[in-house]
A and B are shown apart, each in its own frame.
Chain A
Amino acid sequence: MTENDYDFSALERRLGVSRRTFLKFCTGVAASLGLSTNAAMAMAQAVADPKRRPPVIWLHGQECTGPTEALLRSEQPTLEHLLLDLISLDYHQTLDTGAGHQVEEIKKLVMQQNRGKYLLVIEGAIPVKDNGIYCKIAGETMLDLTHEAAEHAAAIVAYGSCASWGGVQAAAPNPTGAKGAPQVLEGKTVVTIPGCPPNPANFIGTVLYFVTYGKLPPIDELGRPKWAYGRLIHENCYRRPHFDAGRFAAEFGDKGHREGWCLYKMGCKGPETYNNCPSLEFNNLGGGVWPIGVGHPCFGCSEGGVGFNKPMFALADVKTHTPPNMFPAIEERQESSSATAAAAALVGVAVGAALGASTMAAKKLSEQEKKQE
């Protein structure tokens, strides 16, 4: 059987979506990852083939369950179905049917049976102060649980800003010594999907890639998948032309704000935050549903050291992009020159000379004519 006539009928029954909807979704994910339609077909087959469903252990630390909520609330009707179908979610404190020590035992069993094969997702920060006693699950600290689960995981994904770099818990004064998973699990490769909440599309794309190809997508030095976090929000923002032209909203509701100008002066952190919000927006709603789209400056939620750290309306550091010097400089407008008396006089003299010469010539011409007559 070739790739193209793969039978998706079983999947259609299982997920309750049409083959067309399903393939469109896979193509969309592949496209946002910057992959070809072949990759979309490979992903579709990976989902359709139930043998390849990896077991997933999902830990929750200090957090608000925002990432999980964002995932479950995605507009895409099949997204959570797809995810839950794609993976074998064996342990997830919010979604588990069972409770108490029963699920903890199942978790230990799954981890034992699938040594080196399961996917570990960490959601929430990990407090390390006083041996991590500020976050406990079933009598064990999150710190210990994280180390235990990470030991034999095939891959580790830190989902959300808290798990990626500490998030709001790690903001000063950080009484619990909260840290992100990469900082706790030093020496291990941790893929981070930061964001508060993170964009579920970034998670799905990364997991689909992992399920399809058995490896993680290319990541940067902070563990972020390059396909999603490779560029500053500033670079793809549709308000960018206003930045380049020096048109800024100065406060909520002013002329510039109503006209949709750049929010940089209101403290937008787009110039120092790496994320794909401008192109994917949020929760597949479309219609500009993301902070800058609805007129609020970017808060830098996904960028360590920016979100929860810098004051909300403080100016961002424009990291990589200052406008090329061929663009009008915004600071020199007030000094731009107006007419000096001498220059105005010269223009008057020039126009006057042209008119005067014409008058003289016209006069002489009529004299000539009269003479001829």
Chain B
Amino acid sequence: MSQHQPLNRRVITPPFLVLGVLFLIAVYYLGVRFVNGMGFVTNLNGGYAWGLWVVYDIVIGTALACGGYALAVVVYVANKGKYHPLLRPALLASLLGYALGGIGAFIDMGRWWQFYNILLPWHMNFNAVMLEVGLCVAAYILVLFIEFSPVVLERFGARNLRQKLNKVLFFFIALGVLLPTMHQSSLGSMLIAMGHKVHPLWQTLYLQPLLAVLTAFTMGFAVVVFEASLSSVGFGRPAETPLLSGLGKAIVGLIAVYLVFRLGEVVVQGKLGLLFAGDLGSLLFLLETALFIYPLVVLLSPAARCNSRLLLWSAVSMLFAGSLYRLNAFLITYNPGPGYSYFPSVPEIMVTVGLVALEVMVFLYVVKRFPVLHREERR
């Protein structure tokens, strides 16, 4: 018998309906976008070709969806089986987050009907960091689905197929560790390609991939803590604090490594003065760094790691830190030339909000109908 079980509760609840309304608003604006074009609904312009849809849905969204990646490394690479109960919901959140990223890329594509060309080898531009990201993310969505498919097969009782799948699953798990490492670092490399348009505090020509993959990895752990905490509150299940405190330890180590590289780069490159310039860039850098340091300081103490409230706040701080890091580099301090400005329009924001709402709705539906959450342990 499986260790996982569906929650078997009502799917249609008041919060679910509110999310549904948000999603319908997004559908309306997406309709306008596909009928009248991007210029109709977005504030994108010649200088800011990438707006909220790319920076939130893809760059931040896929980093938030790194829970499956981070846990897969812990459970399968580091062989820490005790974290296995957290894996399925994390995989589900990853699958949904990456699917959102894929949808985000598609709706942000000016000539979306050319989309299939990325899959045709003779149309590929092998010098493009975007190709790497595009193919890798597409492949990873498939891999995530295969990693998650035991849940679906369990639900429909396809025992035979599941056993066959189990024999080859190790291959996809390995891919599931490799692919995010590749494209999460490539998402950082995109900043290299943007050159001087990126603020000097966020531009580093050789550490960009490392910083991107480190923060994505840390955000992966943080999102697992966040999602597990919210699940236990929302579904009234016992808190998973003992398990999560172990992840807290990993977060501390990763943030420490990240900060050494991040601040070290600023010092070595002689950019320390920019930090205290008192302008928007320096303030945002300080805010961002403070958000990174908060979980580091809090989770350093073993007592705080076992406090579910502090654990949650640390995770939230980490998620904001990683998101702000990406927002700062890609949008807020990004300077494409004099005269340009960008702030997402209401339709842009509503589309992103609606897609996140869809993500949450699907998550709620799947955990209530499919064996995703771990069976409650009697204590």
A binding-site residues for B, Cβ under 8 Å: 245-247, 327-330, 332-334, 336-340, 342-344, 346-347, 350, 354-355, 357-358, 360-366, 368-369
Contact = CB atoms under 8 A, between A and B. Distances in A.
In the A-B complex, the 3 residue pairs with the smallest Cβ-Cβ separation, listed nearest first, are A328-B46, A333-B339, A339-B343
A327 B49 CA distance: 10
Interface string B319-356: 00000000000000000111111111110111001000
A259 B232 CA distance: 59
B309 A336 contact: no
Contacts of A247: 337
Interface core residue of A355, A360, A361 (most chain B CB under 10 Å): A361
B309 A366 contact: yes
B239 interface: yes
Contact of A365 (B45, B239, B338, B341): B239
A329 B336 CA distance: 12
A364 B353 contact: no
A365 B47 contact: no
B46 A347 contact: no
Interface residues of B, number: 35
Contacts of A368: 232-233, 238-239, 308
Interface of B: 43, 45-48, 226, 229-230, 232-234, 238-239, 241, 307-309, 312-313, 316, 336-346, 348-350, 353
A264 to B, nearest CB: 16
Contact of A361 (B230, B338, B353): B230
Given A343-B349, A354-B316, 6 more contacts: A346-B349, A346-B350, A361-B312, A368-B232, A369-B307, A369-B309
A337 B43 contact: yes
B46 A327 contact: yes
9 contacts: A246-B337, A327-B46, A329-B46, A334-B339, A336-B341, A347-B344, A365-B308, A366-B307, A368-B239
A168 B368 CA distance: 86
B312 A365 contact: yes
B107 to A, nearest CB: 18
B341 A358 contact: no
Contacts of B346: 340, 342-343, 346
Contacts of A342: 346
Nearest to A335: B45
B340 A365 contact: no
A332 B239 contact: no
Contacts of B43: 336-337
B349 A336 contact: no
Given A361-B233, A361-B312, A366-B308, A333 B345 contact: no
A328 B232 CA distance: 49
Nearest to B339: A333
Contacts of B337: 245-247, 328, 333
A365 B309 contact: yes
A12 B128 CA distance: 52
